Each structure stands twice: as structure tokens, then as C-alpha cells.
Amino acid sequence: MSTRPDLVGVVASARALGTLSLFAGATGALPVLLGRTQGMSGAAIAVSAVLIFGFPFAWCAGPRRAWYRERLDAATPIPPGYAVVSQSDEFRRVTHPLTKGLVAVLVVELLVAFTTGVPIGLALCGFGAGLLSQAHWLARQERTHTVRVVCPVAPGRVAADDPHLSVYRAVPFFTDAGTRPPTQA
């Protein structure tokens, strides 16, 4: 049994979170996209949609990319005591703890869209699209360096007295060169 948090692939984690965010955000914006605009003009909706989607996407492409780069540069081999989650189980391990929170966010998005006509779900869409863009970039980095990069997977809610709290906050990246053969870029 592992005495430390389990590890999941960084690419798989970004893909899972990006996909979930993209679909939840699109669902939250659906009422507006289907015409429930509460009297807002088409131009106002278009401008707000571009801004609501654009800022989270740009954040993922800019500051978030630097965050990933910093951790990739500091990545070390997996220390003893960590267990790596199988690639077939990564999506479930990453997304399962987020289910309740995601349903609550979806309800709020739909409520805002129905009452104001603002497609607020596009913010989550922008974040999701940005994460998928990061996952693509991270996969390219893995292929270039012929390693698999993994990080700790945190539970949905972390208690203040959790012995692994500092690891969850630091989000260290580890390399596991032996988990998959090198691929051609």
C-alpha cells in the first residue's frame, strides 16, 4: 500500500479536467445559444461571449503555461512510496471527486443564463479549451523528452490536517521514463 498520494499522468489530468469543463460550460451556455437572451442584442451577446470565453482561455495559454513549464523544469524521478494510477483508470480518478461541485456549478450557470441571458458557462468553456490546449502542449513535451510526466491526484476535498496537504498544494511533477516507450514526434 502506498504511503503517499497516488500519481496520475499530467496530460491525462489536463485532458480530463479540460473535457469536463468544456462540456459543463457549453451546457451552461446552451440556453443563451438557443435564443434565451432576455432582450440582449446579438452584438452584446457576441461581445460578452468572446470576453467570457477569451479571458480564461488566454489565462491557460499564458500564466498557466508558465506554471506547467516551471514544474516540468523541476520534475524529478518518482521517489519511493508513490503508486502510479494505471492509464486506463486516470480519467475516473481525476474527475470522480469533482462530480458534486460540477453539478452545483452547472445549476448556477443555467440559472444565470436563464435569468440574465448572459452565457456565463462560456467561462468554464474557455478554461476547458485552454486546458485541452495545455494537454496537447504537455503531450508534445512528453514525446520530445520521451518520458511520462505524473503528478499527485488530490481528493475532492482536502482536510486542513491532511498529512499530504503540502504535496497537494505544491503539485510536484515527476518523470517516469519506464512507463511507456518513446514515441516519434
How far, in Å, CA of 105 to CA of 54, rounded?
A: 19
pTM: 0.84
- Structure-block grid coordinates of residue 127: 478554461
Beta strands per DSSP E along the chain: 7-9, 76-77, 149-152, 174-175
pLDDT at 177: 64
How far, in Å, CA of 10 to CA of 18, rounded?
A: 12
Q: What are the extents of the domains in the chain?
A: 7-179
pLDDT at 99: 86
pLDDT tens track for 124-145: 999 999 999 999 999 999 998 8
Backbone angles phi, psi at 163, to 5 degrees: -65, -15
**Regions of the chain with pLDDT less than 70:** 1-3, 177-185
Q: Is 151 helix (H, G, I), strand (E, B) or coil?
A: strand
